[in-house]
Amino acid sequence: MPGLSRNTLSIWDANRPFRPDRLPFFYGWIIAGLGALGMIASIPGQTIGVNVFSERLIHDLELDRTDVSLAYLIGTMISGASLPWVGNLYDRFGARRLVVFASIGLGLSLFYMSASDRIADRFASLMPGAGTGFWRLAFLTLGFFLIRFWGQGVLTMTARNIVGKWWKHHRGKVLSLSGIAVSICFSLSPKVFDALIECLGWREAWQVIGLVSLVGISLIGWLGFRDNPEECGLVPDGGRAQHASQQGNPEFSIVREFERREALRTYSFWLCSLVFALHALYTTGYSFHVIDVAKDSGMTKSAILGLFVPAAVIGAGISLFVGWASDRWRLKYLISFMALGCSLAPLGL
């Protein structure tokens, strides 16, 4: 059509299906909510969303707990190793495309997981030399890689990074507000998924969740996500000024940007990464084996899953505090606070 650029005709154009700059409020608030929704949608690929399924997999696939844990470890490691490549795709194609593709990929992966043992048994009948157990473990590992890659990897990375593009000086406050919903939903997900499994069965539960991701989240992602405010004719923070405590404070000024190879040579990068790694190691191990921990502790499954409810309330409060503090304090103090919590948690267990 005359007068329309190729980009305007694209379904990925920032002004389709509506123009964010014509709304009566700053579109960054919508992005904050959608970023939280993206994090919540990643739960099926997070350990907290897999834990209640792991017991069914161990029982129905007739595998040892160690074997299932090993499959999860291998799938997670391969997924994690692929994230630098995904980061390049994010920089190249933007958040909107990635959130749609990740939602579709996660949905299809959950459908695959619901039938992974049946696919494995089919392969075992065609190539009986390796045995049914080997094929079940191999295809389960592939399934864990897929849900971790699309859920815990691509979808999580996209949902987190997009908020940072739309908010600069008020990022901590906005992330803390959206973090309340994320914290509550993460903590309640084991109870919700367990109820869904008890009602439908573990295969059908994964299929229902997969359908929601495949159709619902991908559509919402296309409708609402926009990669950055500049492509919409807007500016970060909606033009809001810095906090008074930030003005003139070098801690809140970007002196220069670091390239990846430069960041990898800094002490701060590795210190922060190791604290997050410590947190991930503990929470992944605990969440994945939480029902078995209940058995060893003499607790019922319902009782230990119920502990996630007060955890949601505590997490929401901490999210508000950290969001407020991150806009005012040096981040190294918050990293130290997090490291202390990571040290105390295993002692509590």
Cα distance between residue 244 and residue 261, in whole Å = 34
Predicted TM-score (pTM) of this structure: 0.82
| Mean per-residue pLDDT over the chain, rounded | 86
- Nearest partner of 324 among 126, 176, 180, 215, judged by Cα: 176
Cα distance between residue 253 and residue 302, in whole Å = 48
- Nearest partner of 54 among 37, 71, 40, judged by Cα: 71
Supply the pLDDT for residue 111: 97
Give the model confidence (pLDDT) of 269-324 as tens digits.
898 889 988 888 888 888 888 888 888 888 888 888 888 888 878 877 887 787 77
Tokens standing for residue 305: 């899953």
CB-CB contact of 111 with 207 (8 Å): yes
What is the rounded average pLDDT of the residues 116-121? 90
Supply the pLDDT for residue 20: 94
Cα distance between residue 179 and residue 162, in whole Å = 14
- The rounded percent of the chain whose pLDDT value lies above 70 is 93
Widest CA span in the chain: 73
**Helix 331-348 vs helix 267-288: angle between axes, to the nearest 10 degrees?**
30
3-state secondary structure of 201: coil
What dihedral do alpha carbons 163, 169, 170, 171 form, nearest 10°? Answer: 30
CB-CB contact of 68 with 130 (8 Å): no
Supply the pLDDT for residue 77: 92
Give the model confidence (pLDDT) of 135-187 as tens digits.
999 999 999 999 999 998 999 999 989 998 998 877 777 887 888 888 888 88
Whether the pLDDT of residue 226 is over 60: the answer is: yes
Supply the pLDDT for residue 2: 41
Supply the pLDDT for residue 23: 92
Give the model confidence (pLDDT) of 72-82 as tens digits.
999 999 998 99
Give the model confidence (pLDDT) of 25-42 as tens digits.
999 999 999 999 999 999
Supply the pLDDT for residue 250: 59
Question: Which letter does DSSP use for residue 109 in this model?
Answer: H
- Nearest partner of 284 among 172, 149, 165, 148, judged by Cα: 148
Distances, alpha carbon 18 to alpha carbons 8, 33, 38, 194, 270, in Å: 12, 18, 20, 39, 42
Say which residue, 336 or 320, is predicted with more confidence. Answer: 336
- The rounded percent of the chain whose pLDDT value lies above 90 is 41
Supply the pLDDT for residue 239: 73
Supply the pLDDT for residue 4: 40
